[in-house]
């Protein structure tokens, strides 16, 4: 909202500069976004929070300025134009269908006005606060709206059929052309003002074109009313329009300003546009019961952490227009003024005290340390997983949780349904992702376009799905590898292309660090996907993506390898407590065995056989070399295992180890038709 | 050589092996026994001179010796792996690039979230998380935000499509504050919690808006918690993150779930408060919203507002990261350009 320095000065003495005032307002909760000099005045652009509709007027801000600067308000005698005799003797009637929609409606009839352009001072003030000048009558209603915060509307009374005004819900299929020339389709959600026949205005939002004040207008019906904030809000949402009036009605209006504003506008009309006031009609009562709130002043001290005396509290609250009475030595009975509907309980008063004395005056202290039983949350283990992955050379990415349903094709075969948004920003982002994989592919594609050659990324984030009435939201970990990597060794540099086994290696290292053991990696032929299984549970999957699928992400001629794991499953199977395993006291004896077998024999099966036959002396069997190629027959591969034999009780002798290793070797020959090299 | 006894030579080999103390000596040992003119080669060369019946046994002996030597060499090699064979006199082109090992990075937002949470954890706060798909109650009503009220405007919200079986309407949380409601319903005071996480608002994406961003919520409830405590706690936080030299100010503001409420500014870290384009010539940067927890929130979670007081605060992580690192476009956080990630 915009206000001007000089306009404020009409209502309160100001002895400080615009910039000093701007600072004071900001520190009292009226944030001044900008101050702009304009023809000898200063225009303040302020932000008014939704709880303070009373600041949406010059008079209301002036009250605040008075309280925070200690300067007196300038009292203006209430305007009271004399009621004159009408020449036409037309009696206007007001009918309200439902008092909850419109508790009060007042109408003043001014006869014999001369509609003309506004005087320069009026035009200028309105333009400074960003309001376009129309004619003297309309400008006066706007001027009073800005000045007093009560929206008014002037009808051309001669164009109202009846003669009457009624307030009711619009009927389906009714239409109204508003003053901006737009035809509006109405519905029962919208409150309207009608004459005898048809809607003539959207109550609290905008007037109708047909009854607007024009150069031909001679008699004006001046409306000042209270409309239910909810109905104004719903109406303007339904119709998609907002106005200075609806903005104020939605935030609720000071009942005490209804008549004052109507009188002030009437007096201004008579003064500027001539004419005389001939009727003043009202339906509904403007009287409201006053409420009082008890305040224990020591509670203010307890909440704020600084001493407030009853005297200070009393003087600060009085300066804001609150009625204050003492109850005992420490209690106050506080009656908020009519324009402070936001003040409902004692903490609201405590805020006023803090605000007026200044937040700056409140000391800074540190609270006592709160000792709590540490709840086992997920953030610590998630953090440790991230650390492990980073130590393996992967970068963490953060991608959007809202994705396009189409990109899930071929990338999600999970259980349940995808969660759809009711009001997506656009069609490209319409569902909550049930898998992180498409987002990572997006990242891979982006980085390839940026000519990044080696991409190793992961994300840990929520995935979402619905099964029946249950909505699930679970942390997933996804990893993607793509591109080439330079590997230096003592003799030079080679290019390495990561493959599925690199990805498996990352996950194995992660599992090892988390203490996850006993899992199996099973190949699902049908879906070309590898599953990490722990008993019957699936910890996650590992796959090489199809080129056709990658093309959807504009990734061409590249291998991309992705894994996705369920974080809660990983955490369920991780070893939380660790026991020290004594380091070996006796030396190990190593025996290598190099076998040539058919390609179809899995390395894991060979290893299983070695472990089986190696017995208790075999500590570990590790693949140390692998070869397929020209030196070897087509359809065969060569694998070298290094078998480490050790005993925890003694130094092993060759006589003990050799027979075992021979048994291992013979078993490989026997079971896999292996040729020993 | 009938009845060749390999025992003496086996003993000789073992003795020789024991005396090896450097890789040079090991190399000599290998040449002596396994070399082209070495001891074993000579023995092998003598095979044709043997009677055919003895050849096989002799060959076996030689093979056993070979294995023995290979084993000893392997064991010895292991004992001085790497170190000894490199002479400090071997010329190295030190202008060659060092052989880099891959180093991954934690995303800058995660780094900042962890840093901020750790500051509060040191003050006794627990880290908790809540779901991103929330109920209207936890996101709005429980926090004293009426469903039909202008104060809702500040929290435009994504809703989920309602399925017939849903008893209520679900939304994507527009703030991390629902964690207050959840934590307070689950635990009795005293309670001090920080809750980081993703939040969502249907804002069109541009350099300063994103429909998804991160917030950190914090709150503390006990008997006797004051606004002064809120100021002290947040000052400690801001000075830890932005440096001891900053100044701070608390401005009255309105949040439905706190009363009194305050917005917190720090002196502009770019111009030191003189006024620049980053702070909009004001010299101040808004970094968070805060206040004393509204008694209605306490009533909603079953806490007695006459016994307990508490403070709460919330901040946008992207905003703080952008201010601290001078990042000018919020979209950079979610594009994940490897070069961007590696900068932090």
- B340 — contact with chain A (CB < 8 Å)? no
Within 8 A of B104 by CB-CB distance, chain A residues are 389-396, 456
CB contact under 8 A, A398 and B261: no
CATH fold, domain A293-361, is Phenylalanyl-tRNA Synthetase; Chain B, domain 1 (3.30.56)
Asked if pLDDT for residue A160 goes beyond 60, the answer is yes
Which residues contact residue A397 at a Cβ distance below 8 angstroms, ignoring those fewer than 6 apart? A440, A443, A457, A458, A459, B107, B336, B341
CATH number at residue B309: 3.30.930.10
Q: How far is B46 from chain A (nearest CA, A)?
A: 25
What is the location of CATH 3.30.56.10 in chain A? 2-69, 293-361
Asked if B254 and A51 come within 8 Å (Cβ–Cβ), the reply is yes
Mean pLDDT of A498-507: 92
DSSP string, B262-323: EEEEEE-TTTTTS--TTTTTSSEEEEEEEEEEPHHHHHHHT--TTT-EEEEEEEEHHHHHHH
Does residue A348 sit at the B interface (CB-CB below 8 Å)?
yes
Q: Looking at the structure, do residues B23 and B154 belong to the same domain, yes or no?
A: no
Residue B320 within a domain:
yes
Q: What is the pLDDT of residues A194-230, one digit of tens each?
A: 999 999 999 999 999 999 999 999 999 999 999 999 9
B201 shares a domain with B152: yes
Same domain, B115 and B49: no
What pLDDT does residue A27 have? 96
- CATH H-level superfamily of A379-573: Bira Bifunctional Protein; Domain 2 (3.30.930.10)
List CB contacts (< 8 A) between A424 and chain B. 158
**Does a structural domain hold residue B43?**
yes
B121 touching A (Cβ < 8 Å): no
How confident is the model over A617-626, as pLDDT tens digits? 999 999 999 9
Closest alpha carbon to A136 in A110, A152, A113: A113
Q: Are B185 and B64 within one domain?
A: no
Q: Give the count of beta carbons closer than 10 Å to the beta carbon of residue B106.
A: 19
Q: Confirm if B22 and B80 have CB atoms less than 8 A apart.
A: yes
Taking Cα atoms as reference points, which of A361, A363, A303, A371 lies closest to residue B235?
Answer: A363
Residue B96: CB atoms within 10 A of its CB come to 8
Q: Do B126 and A306 touch (CB under 8 A)?
A: no
Residue A638 above 60 pLDDT? yes
* Beta pairing, strands A199-202 & A191-194: antiparallel
Q: How would you classify the pairing of strands A164-169 and A93-96?
A: parallel
| pLDDT mean for each 10 residues of chain B (344 residues) | 68 80 80 83 82 82 83 75 62 81 93 97 93 95 86 80 88 96 95 97 92 97 96 97 94 96 94 86 92 98 96 97 94 96 94
Could B106 and A396 be called an inter-chain contact, meaning their C-beta atoms sit closer than 8 Å?
A: yes
Q: Does residue A535 sit at the B interface (CB-CB below 8 Å)?
A: no
Nearest to B228 among A362, A392, A452 (CB): A362
Instruction: Choose from A306, A316, A379, A502 for mutation: most chain B CBs within 10 A.
Output: A379
Write the CATH number of the domain with boundaries A2-69.
3.30.56.10
Residues B61 and B115 in one domain: no
Residue B158 lies in a domain: yes
Domain A589-676 of CATH type 3.30.420.40: no
Our CA-based measurement puts residue A20 at a distance from the nearest CA of chain B, in whole angstroms, of: 13
Give yes or no for A31 touching B (CB within 8 A): yes
Judge whether B101 lies within some domain.
Answer: no
In angstroms, the Cα distances linking A342 to A483, A484, B54, B207 are 61, 64, 112, 36
CB contact under 8 Å between A402 and B158, yes or no, is yes
Residue B44: which domain range? 7-79
Architecture of domain A93-283: 3-Layer(bba) Sandwich (3.50)
Q: For A40-73, what is each residue's pLDDT tens digit?
A: 999 999 999 999 999 999 999 999 999 999 999 9
Interface of B with A in 3-42 (CB under 8 A): none
Question: Rounded to a whole number, what is the distance in Å from the CA of A49 to chain B's nearest CA?
Answer: 6
| pLDDT classification of A415: cutoffs 50, 70, 90 | confident
Task: Sort out which chain B residues have CB atoms less than 8 A from A434's CB and list them.
Answer: none
Which residue of B129, B226, B334 is in closest CB contact with A365? Answer: B226
Write out pLDDT tens, residues A563-587.
Answer: 999 999 999 999 888 889 889 999 9
Query: Who has greater pLDDT, A496 or A649?
Result: A649
List the single residue in B149, B235, B334 with the smallest CB-CB distance to A398: B334
Domain identity same for B34 and B154:
no
Q: Does B292 touch chain A (CB under 8 A)?
A: yes
Least Cα separation, residue B241 to chain A (angstroms) = 17
Contact call for B163 and A383, based on CB within 8 A: no
Which residues of chain B lie closer than 8 angstroms to A29, CB-CB?
Answer: 251-254
Same domain as B240, residue B136: yes
Produce one character per residue of B295-311: b if its CB has 16 or more CB atoms within 10 Å, e if not.
bbbbebbebebeebbbb
Q: What is the ipTM, given to two decimal places?
A: 0.90
pLDDT at residue A560 in the model: 95
Stretch among A492-506, A534-548, B80-94 having the lowest mean pLDDT = B80-94
**Number of domains composing chain B:** 2
Q: Is the peptide bond before B142 cis (omega within 30 degrees of 0)?
A: no
Residue A369 sits at the chain B interface (C-beta within 8 Å): yes
- pLDDT range class, residue A343, cuts 50, 70, 90: very high
Q: Does A471 touch chain B (CB under 8 A)?
A: yes
Work out the mean pLDDT of chain A and round it to a whole number: 93
Average pLDDT over residues A529-538: 92
Query: Given CB atoms, is A457 within the 8 Å cutoff of chain B?
Result: yes
Are residue B29 and residue B151 in the same domain, yes or no?
no
Chain B residues inside the 8 Å CB shell of A452: 337-339
Q: How far is Cα A360 from Cα A62, in angstroms, rounded to an integer?
A: 22
- Nearest Cα of chain B lies from the Cα of A379 at a distance, in angstroms, of 7
Note whether A450 contacts B225, CB cutoff 8 Å: no
- Cα–Cα distances in Å, from A607 out to A522, A658, A668? 16, 18, 10
Q: What is the pLDDT of residue B86?
A: 62
Beta carbons of A367 and B212 less than 8 Å apart: no
* Cross-chain Cβ contact B104/A393 below 8 Å: yes
Residues 43-62 of B with CB under 8 A from A: none
Which of A228, A242, A305 is the best residue to mutate to test the B interface, defined by the most B CB atoms within 10 Å of its own CB? A305
Predicted confidence band at A77 (pLDDT cuts at 50, 70, 90)?
confident
Nearest CA in chain B to A489: B99
Give the model confidence (pLDDT) of A88-124 as tens digits: 778 889 999 999 999 999 999 999 999 999 999 999 9
pLDDT at residue B1, rounded to an integer = 45
In a domain, B32, yes or no: yes
Interface test with B, best of A56, A342, A351, A403 (most B CBs within 10 A): A351
Alpha carbon distance B318, B315 (integer Å): 9
């Amino acid at each position: 909202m915009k206000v001007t320095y000089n306009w404020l000065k009409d209502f309160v003495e100001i002895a400080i500069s615009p910039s000093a005032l701007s600072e004071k307002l900001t520190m009292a909760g009226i944030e001044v976004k900008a101050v702009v000099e304009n023809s000898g005045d200063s225009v303040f652009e302020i932000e008014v929070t939704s709880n303070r509709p009373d600041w949406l007027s010059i008079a209301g801000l002036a009250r605040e300025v008075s309280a925070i600067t200690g300067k007196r308000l300038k009292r203006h005698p209430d305007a009271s134009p004399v009621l004159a005799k009408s020449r036409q003797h037309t009696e206007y009637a007001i009918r309200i269908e439902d008092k909850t929609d419109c508790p009060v409606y007042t109408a003043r009839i001014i006869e014999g006005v001369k509609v003309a352009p506004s005087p320069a001072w009026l035009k200028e003030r309105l333009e400074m606060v960003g309001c376009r000048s129309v004619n003297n009558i309309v400008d006066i209603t706007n001027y009073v709206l800005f000045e007093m915060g009560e929206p008014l509307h002037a009808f051309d009374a001669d164009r109202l059929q009846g003669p009457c005004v009624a307030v009711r819900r619009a009927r389906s299929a009714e239409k109204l052309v508003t003053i901006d020339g737009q035809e509006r389709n109405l519905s029962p959600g919208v409150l309207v003002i009608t004459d005898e026949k048809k809607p003539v205005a959207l109550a609290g939002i905008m007037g109708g074109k047909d009854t607007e004040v024009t150069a031909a207008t001679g008699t004006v019906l001046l409306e000042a009313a209270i409309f239910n904030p909810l109905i104004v809000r719903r109406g303007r949402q339904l119709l998609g329009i907002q106005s200075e009036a609806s903005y104020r009605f939605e935030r609720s209006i000071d009942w005490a300003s209804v008549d004052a504003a109507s009188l002030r506008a009437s007096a201004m009309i008579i003064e500027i546009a001539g004419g005389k006031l001939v009727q003043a009609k009202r339906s509904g009562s403007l009287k409201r019961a006053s409420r009082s709130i008890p305040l224990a002043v020591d509670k203010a001290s307890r909440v704020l952490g600084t001493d407030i005396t009853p005297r200070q509290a009393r003087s600060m609250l009085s300066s804001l227009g609150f009625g204050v009475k003492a109850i005992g030595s420490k209690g106050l009975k506080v009656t908020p003024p009519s324009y402070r509907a936001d003040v409902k309980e004692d903490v609201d008063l405590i805020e006023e005290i803090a605000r007026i004395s200044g937040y700056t005056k409140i000391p800074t202290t540190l609270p006592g340390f709160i000792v709590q039983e540490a709840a086992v949350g997920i953030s610590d283990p998630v953090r440790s997983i991230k650390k492990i992955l980073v130590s393996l050379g992967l970068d963490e990415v953060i991608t959007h949780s809202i994705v396009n349903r189409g990109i899930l094709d071929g990338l999600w075969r999970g259980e349940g349904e995808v969660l759809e948004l009711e009001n997506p920003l656009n069609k490209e982002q319409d569902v909550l992702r049930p898998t992180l994989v498409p987002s990572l592919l997006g990242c891979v594609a982006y980085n390839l376009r940026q000519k990044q050659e080696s991409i190793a990324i992961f994300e840990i984030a929520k995935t979402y799905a619905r099964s029946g009435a249950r909505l699930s939201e679970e942390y997933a970990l996804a990893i993607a590898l793509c591109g080439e990597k330079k590997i230096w060794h003592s003799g030079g540099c080679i290019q390495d292309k990561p493959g599925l086994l690199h990805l498996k290696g990352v996950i194995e290292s992660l599992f090892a660090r988390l203490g996850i053991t006993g899992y199996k990696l099973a190949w699902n032929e049908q879906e070309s996907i590898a599953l990490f299984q722990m008993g019957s549970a699936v910890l996650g999957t590992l796959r090489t993506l199809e080129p056709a699928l990658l093309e959807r992400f504009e990734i061409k001629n590249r291998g991309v390898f992705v894994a996705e794991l369920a974080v809660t499953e990983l955490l369920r199977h991780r070893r939380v407590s660790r026991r020290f395993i004594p380091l070996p006291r006796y030396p190990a004896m190593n025996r290598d065995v190099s076998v040539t077998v058919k390609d179809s024999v899995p390395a894991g099966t060979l290893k299983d056989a070695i472990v089986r036959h190696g017995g208790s002396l075999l500590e570990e069997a590790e693949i140390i070399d692998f070869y397929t190629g020209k030196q070897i027959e087509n359809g065969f591969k060569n694998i070298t295992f290094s078998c480490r034999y050790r005993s925890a009780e003694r130094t092993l002798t060759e006589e003990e180890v050799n027979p075992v290793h021979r048994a291992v070797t013979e078993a490989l020959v026997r079971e896999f038709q292996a040729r020993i090299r | 050589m009938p009845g060749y006894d390999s025992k003496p030579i086996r003993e000789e080999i073992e003795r020789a092996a024991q005396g090896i103390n450097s890789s040079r000596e090991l190399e000599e040992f290998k040449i002596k026994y396994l070399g082209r003119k070495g001891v074993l080669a000579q023995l092998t060369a003598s095979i044709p001179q043997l009677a055919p019946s003895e050849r096989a046994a002799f060959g076996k002996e030689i093979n056993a010796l070979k294995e023995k030597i290979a084993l000893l060499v392997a064991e010895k090699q292991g004992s001085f792996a790497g170190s000894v064979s490199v002479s400090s006199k071997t010329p190295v082109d030190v202008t060659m690039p060092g052989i880099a090992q891959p180093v991954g990075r934690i995303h800058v937002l995660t780094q900042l979230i962890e840093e901020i949470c750790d500051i509060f954890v040191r003050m006794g706060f627990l880290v908790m998380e809540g779901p991103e798909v929330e109920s209207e109650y936890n996101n709005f009503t429980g926090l004293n935000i009426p469903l039909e009220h202008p104060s809702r405007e500040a929290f435009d919200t994504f809703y989920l499509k309602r399925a017939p079986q849903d008893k209520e309407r679900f939304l994507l949380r527009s703030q991390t504050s629902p964690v207050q409601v959840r934590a307070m319903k689950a635990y009795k005071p005293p309670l001090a919690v920080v809750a980081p996480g993703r939040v969502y608002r249907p804002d069109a994406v541009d350099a300063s808006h994103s429909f998804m961003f991160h917030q950190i919520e914090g709150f503390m409830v006990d008997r006797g918690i004051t606004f002064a405590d809120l100021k002290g706690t947040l000052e400690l936080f801001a000075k830890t993150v932005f440096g001891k030299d900053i100044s701070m100010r608390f401005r009255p503001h309105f949040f439905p779930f706190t009363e009194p409420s305050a917005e917190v500014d720090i002196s502009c870290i770019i111009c030191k408060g003189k006024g620049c384009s980053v702070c909009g010539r004001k010299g101040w940067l808004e970094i968070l919203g805060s206040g004393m927890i509204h008694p209605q929130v306490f009533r909603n979670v079953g806490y007695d507002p006459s016994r307990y007081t508490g403070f709460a605060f919330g901040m946008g992580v992207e905003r703080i990261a952008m201010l601290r690192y001078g990042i000018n476009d919020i979209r950079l956080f979610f594009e994940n350009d490897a070069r961007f990630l590696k900068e932090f």
